[in-house]
Amino acid sequence: MTSLQTNKLHWQTQGEGQDLVLIHGWGMNGAVWQQTMDSLAQSFCVHSVDLPGYGLSHQASASDLEDMCQQVLAQAPDKAVYVGWSLGGLVATNIAVTHPARVERLITVASSPKFAAEKGWRGIQPQVLSDFTSQLTNNFQKTIEGFMTLQAMGSPSARQDVKAIKQQVFSRPMPNPEALALGLDILAQVDLRPVLADIQVPFLRLYGRLDGLVPKKVEQDVSHLAPNSQCHVFESSSHAPFMTEHEAFCRMVEEFVGGTVKSG
């Protein structure tokens, strides 16, 4: 395992083989993937990044989604499978659209091309996003603990894993308020629905049936917007299936990268 800390972004790398890039969600950092990295590194060269303003990249900053993507690409492998969770799914999707030559395959996890709700589109109400930002800024650890505990509901085996992941996440600095504000703005404003049909690389969308942030109807709607994509819904998961159904999640990633995934 190697770690890279420069005046740019913090990266962690494990394993050998085909390159996989893991991109974390809002309010978190790359350590949330540690259990996933340990498993997938048996088959791949797995990279996780702390996005600008998060974790050990707390000294960095980004101006918008495209700037965030450019900073990731500056240190990423020349070509990789991109796996993006939640907000990280927007980053990975935008990279696949704007820099397809850098992306072997795209996997989004509990993500949406448009997180904010509007008439005819299910998503998060703006007030919920604002409240969550305020809570994270005022009491980062308590808010993240509550969020992660919710992910373990419905899967007793996940509780011990979530406890370990909490320790990893809290071992790194909390995100900058500016990074949280930018993340809120991206979640509230960005709409990638019009460009989903432009994605040329193999595309897998993973969801949790119990997810309250990305409702199940989003999965159905996105299937129409990206008809060439595949999808799978984890029946016992909410917003973090890589925690709740860890083994099944890793198996799904391995099968998709190997070209044998079965959507369902």
How far apart CA 21 and CA 32 sit, in angstroms, is: 13
From the candidates 48, 86, 112, 237, which is the catalytic residue? Answer: 86
For the record, the structure tokens of 53 come out as: 């303003």
Contact 44, 20 (CB under 8 A): yes
Examine the residue annotation and report whether 239 is marked as an active-site residue of this protein. Answer: yes
Active site residue 112: no
| Cα–Cα distance, 49 to 13 (Å, whole number) | 9
> Which positions ≥6 away from 253 have C-beta within 8 Å?
20, 40, 83, 107
Beta strands in 39-163 (DSSP E): 45-50, 80-85, 103-109
Q: Annotated catalytic, 48?
A: no
Q: What is the secondary structure of 217-245 as a DSSP string?
A: HHHHHHHHHSTT-EEEEETT-SS-HHHHT
| Residue in 19, 50, 161, 211 annotated catalytic | 211
24, 58, 232, 239: the catalytic one is 239
**Which strand ranges, in their side-by-side order, compose the sheet holding 2-4?**
2-4, 10-14, 45-50, 19-23, 80-85, 103-109, 203-208, 230-234
Positions annotated as catalytic residues are: 86, 211, 239
